[in-house]
Amino acid sequence: MFAWTKKVGHRVRLEGGVEISTQPGETVLNAALRSGVAFPFSCKVGGCGSCKCQLLEGKVKELTDKSYLLTREELQQNYILGCQSVPRSDLRLRIPQDPLTQQQVQGCIRASTALSHDIVELRVDLDAPLRYRPGQYAIVSVEGSALPPRCYSFAQASDEVEGARQIRFFVRRLPRGGLSQLLCAPEALGRRLQLSASHGQFHLREGSTPLLCIAGGSGLAPLLALLQGALHSGAAFREVTLLFGVRAQRDLYCQNEIAALAQRWQGRFHFMPVLSEEPADSSWQGLRGLVTEHLSAPLAAGAQAYLCGPPAMIDAAMSRLAALGLPREQMFFDKFSDQSQTAKAA
């Protein structure tokens, strides 16, 4: 007769004394969220790296490859992804702490402006100053709504010391996106929001090398914030190339804002919109095809690359940049996924 072994969960102790219990087959992140424990995350599918943590003791089963998300140093220091790690024993973990991640603030939607046929700019007045790094995001929920919260990137820079009392988001209206439909509706004006911030490791790194920015859809939001922040920090001496991939002319937006930004770079800012599905007989005289088709060795050489947008676009662009010789350590990204992937709202 076979002896069946009953599967059991395990205990996970976080530095600081917090302890959670996992159910059989449950990831570290899901156990933490189920227990009401604050644990950094964004996509929950192993695509962003926000939930990385250091495994100090114990063993885990890893559901996906983590090597393309973590640096060589992090791999050597036994970092794992909380959303892709199922405990095989009791664990002890260290979560990297960011002083900006422990903020809870409320606000009110002050203005709503259609930027394109499916992207709306929301301007929000906050009850208290909110600190964030340009490129980061907030977890947003609507007070009085049972809809699950979603992640939206800040679309403008702020003073990292004083914080911001007014912020903006770019919200893409998704056909089956419950919260995005609510936020993009005319009656959203005046609605109260609850924000948890500030999250994500997507922000400008120091250096003097060129900046290669690649955006798709509402992925333009964090890149605009990042580039505004670069100006504020005196980094306008760095050469900038911004590729913006959309389907057609009607999907382009913030063109005047980008032009004004480029003027402040004094000739060192190059904007390259790329249309993938623009009708052949249209008036468009610019670039066509996929963003990856317009990446070249001169653009990649010695650059820091910052990518925001749909996962497929980011994966393809990173593969292309790697083939052109750009080291993985010089690529920084934020994948925007729809609700089917329980990730950041595009």
The CATH number of the domain where 305 resides is what? 3.40.50.80
CATH number at residue 43: 3.10.20.30
Are 69 and 163 found together in one domain?
A: no
Are 103 and 83 found together in one domain?
A: no
Residue at which a domain ends, from 148, 177, 199: 199
245 and 346 Cβ atoms separated by less than 8 Å: no
Q: Which domain holds residue 49?
A: 11-94
Is the pTM of the predicted complex or chain greater than 0.75?
yes
Determine, yes or no, domain membership for 1: no
Are 230 and 134 found together in one domain?
A: no
Are 224 and 194 found together in one domain?
A: no
Domain count within the chain: 3
Are 125 and 164 found together in one domain?
A: yes
Dihedral-angle region of residue 117 (phi above 0 means left; psi in -120 to 50 means alpha; beta otherwise)? alpha
CATH number at residue 192: 2.40.30.10
Res 343: pLDDT: 40
Determine, yes or no, domain membership for 254: yes
Are 37 and 120 found together in one domain?
A: no
Neighbours of 96 (CB within 10 A): 12
Closest by CA to 243, choosing from 252, 235, 234, is 252
Res 175: pLDDT: 83
pLDDT in tens, the chain (346 residues): 445 555 678 999 988 788 999 999 999 999 988 887 777 776 677 877 778 999 999 999 999 888 877 888 899 999 999 999 999 999 999 987 665 566 889 999 999 999 999 999 999 999 999 999 999 999 899 999 988 888 899 999 987 668 899 999 999 998 877 899 999 999 999 999 999 888 887 899 989 999 999 999 999 999 999 999 999 999 889 999 999 999 999 999 999 999 999 999 988 999 999 999 999 999 999 999 999 999 999 999 999 999 999 989 999 999 999 999 999 889 998 887 654 444 443 3
Contacts of 250 (CB under 8 A, 6+ apart): 116, 117
Determine, yes or no, domain membership for 135: yes
What is the spatial distance between Cα 23 and Cα 166, in angstroms, rounded to a whole number?
Answer: 41
Are 194 and 236 found together in one domain?
A: no
Are 180 and 222 found together in one domain?
A: no
Are 230 and 316 found together in one domain?
A: yes
Determine, yes or no, domain membership for 4: no
Res 8: pLDDT: 72
Are 254 and 171 found together in one domain?
A: no
Are 155 and 85 found together in one domain?
A: no
Determine, yes or no, domain membership for 115: yes
What is the spatial distance between Cα 157 and Cα 144, in angstroms, rounded to a whole number?
Answer: 29
Determine, yes or no, domain membership for 2: no
Determine, yes or no, domain membership for 205: no
Neighbours of 99 (CB within 10 A): 8
Residue at which a domain ends, from 37, 70, 94: 94
Determine, yes or no, domain membership for 206: no
Residue at which a domain ends, from 52, 79, 94: 94
Are 78 and 159 found together in one domain?
A: no
